[in-house]
Structure 1
Amino acid sequence: MDIDSYTNHQKIIVAVDCIIFGFDGNQLKALLIKRGFEPQKGKWSLMGGFINNNEDADCAAVRVLNKLTGMDNLYMEQLHAFSRVDRDSAGRVISIAYFALINIADYSEQLQVEHEAKWFELSQLPELIFDHTAMVLKAQDLLREKVARHPIGFELLPDKFTLPQLQSLYEAIYETSLDSRNFSKRILSLGVLNKLDEKEKKSSRRGAFYYVFDSIKYKNLEASGVRFV
């Protein structure tokens, strides 16, 4: 390949798009924004942007996520490169999609207003621009695959949580009901949760004990192929 191959080749724009998942205690949701420019201005969209000359795709995704959420050090994972020739009506654009997990309670209402952002249940997504619906569905599939064997689901919960709250999270991710006794027995048998003396009493008069995830204990089990559900 000579230098003329670079100078004469068609220029292609590369972007990132971020699927941001959150959990409200009952439903798994995705954060969407109103697109602020043409084409398809005013329609619902994922948060995204073009990759700058001085950054790689991961850095661009971190920048985009920080702009929308105001948060740093979010759990983020590269999902897939979407490269269909006609995916963007404005030009030839390849999008590298990422998914990220946040606790909805930590999301700033001010930023939500500023970006015209809104949380949507995955079962009630509005029509999205381009191939963004396909991105969300692919991210949902990967999330289900990952939470079975990795503790990333805890990124969607507060630091302290009850077993019923944890069960509700897995039920929302997999869109199915789980037996409470079997779930509690399974998750506690892993030995990666530390029980606190404090109880959550809003949901019932008796109350449920809070737990915290112990990442050190998990590290000791990781090599053995631990499975959460």
Structure 2
Amino acid sequence: MSSKQGYDPSKYPPVAVTVDIVLLTIRDDSLEALLVRRGQEPFKGSYALPGGFVRPDETLADAAARELEEETGARGMHLEQLGTYGDPGRDPRMRVVSAAYLALIPNPPEVTGGSDAEVAEWVPIATFLDASLPESPSLLAFDHRKILRDGVERARAKLEYSGLATAFCGTEFTVGELRRVYEIVWGVDLDARNFHRKVTGTLGFLEPTGEMTTRGGGRPAQLFRRGATQTLNPPILRPTPSVV
């Protein structure tokens, strides 16, 4: 069979498949991402997203879960596929296509570097996504700055219409605590009354626990848990575009 009629291996060099994970949390009133400092070339010493090569016998999701545990010690995370990244030259070693995943957690675990990562740590996203910073692998290895930016934007967009914000909260939370998640992720201040009306106006979106708390100071506040309804109707739209 000629090359015009079928597959010609000589025209297609080997391609590796990797996974990268955007893992976000809120700490100290700041949206932070889990990053590792690379212990090997290429980009040795640079920060990168947790991830690595997919083994021949693994699914993409299994590889993402394994790499996250190997490089950070974090396990049991719900990973949502974010996108695929395969521009030529994104990895200086060879042609590499990466499937990126997004996860959000309320209580970040203690993390330690492993595998080819010297250090794993939580870093404010503004450290790397500030618009004034140059596009450079010295800031984040490979094209991980773009992947991180895409992951943050996915999280910000989904807050408008879904219950994703509750993933940053504990099992039980107040409307004020939920509002603060929106404010931190979006980088804006929200009107408390309007927010309360919108999140409690969608039937089944929040479920009252019947309990009250004073942990936020001031008057006792009602505690809620995430309800069965997964979509806000109408959605809560971002007042202004986020800075980073």
- Quickly name the TM-score band, shorter chain normalised: 0.7 to 0.9
Partner of 2:143: 131
Following superposition, the deviation at residue 150 of structure 1 comes to 1.8
Number of the residue aligned with 2:42: 39
Q: Deviations over 1:151-208 (max 9, x none)?
A: 1221121111111110011112221111001000111111321223433323314232
Q: 1:75 aligns with which of 75, 78, 89?
A: 78
Equivalent of 2:227 in 209, 214, 218: 214
Match of 1:147 among 155, 159, 165: 159
Task: Return the alpha-carbon distance in structure 1 between the equivalents of residues 38 and 21 of structure 2.
Answer: 14
Normalised TM-score (structure 1): 0.85
Query: Which whole-Å CA distance do the structure 2 matches of 1:27 and 1:152 have between them?
Result: 17
Identity across matched positions, percent: 26
Moved more, 59-68 or 183-192: 59-68
- Report the counterpart of residue 134 of structure 2 in structure 1: none
Query: Hey, what's the Cα distance between the residues in 2 that align with 1:80 and 1:226?
Result: 26
**Do the aligned residues in 1 keep the contact of 2:36 with 2:47 (CA within 8 Å)?**
yes
Q: How far apart are the structure 2 equivalents of 1:117 and 1:193? A: 35
**What amino acid is aligned across from residue 30 of structure 2 in structure 1?**
Q
Q: Does structure 2 retain, via aligned residues, the 8 Å contact 1:22–1:28?
A: yes
Q: Which residue of 2 aligns with 1:96?
A: 99
> Is the 2:80–2:102 contact (alpha carbons within 8 Å) kept by the matching residues of 1?
yes
- Would you say the 8 A contact 1:167–1:180 is kept in 2? yes
Question: Is 1:173 matched up with 2:185?
Answer: yes
Does residue 15 in structure 1 map to residue 41 in structure 2? no
The one-letter code of the counterpart of 1:61 is A
Whether the 8 Å contact between 2:29 and 2:184 is mirrored in structure 1 is: yes
Higher deviation after alignment, 56-65 or 138-147: 56-65
Once the two structures are superposed, the pairs formed by residues 107-126 of structure 1 within 5 Å of their partners are 107=109, 109=110, 111-112=111-112, 116-125=119-128
Q: Deviations over 1:58-84 (max 9, x none)?
A: 221122234335321x33221221112
Which contiguous aligned blocks of 4+ residues in structure 1 show a shift greater than 4 angstroms? Answer: 1-4
Render the CA deviation track for 1:16-74: whole Å, top value 9, x for unaligned. Answer: 100101122622211111112111122111000101101122221122234335321x3
- Structural RMSD (CA): 2.4
Report the counterpart of residue 215 of structure 2 in structure 1. 202
Give 3-state SS (helix, strand or coil) of 2:149's partner: helix
TM-score (ref. length: structure 2): 0.80
* 2:8 alignment partner, SS class: helix
2:65–2:75 Cα contact (<8 Å) kept: no
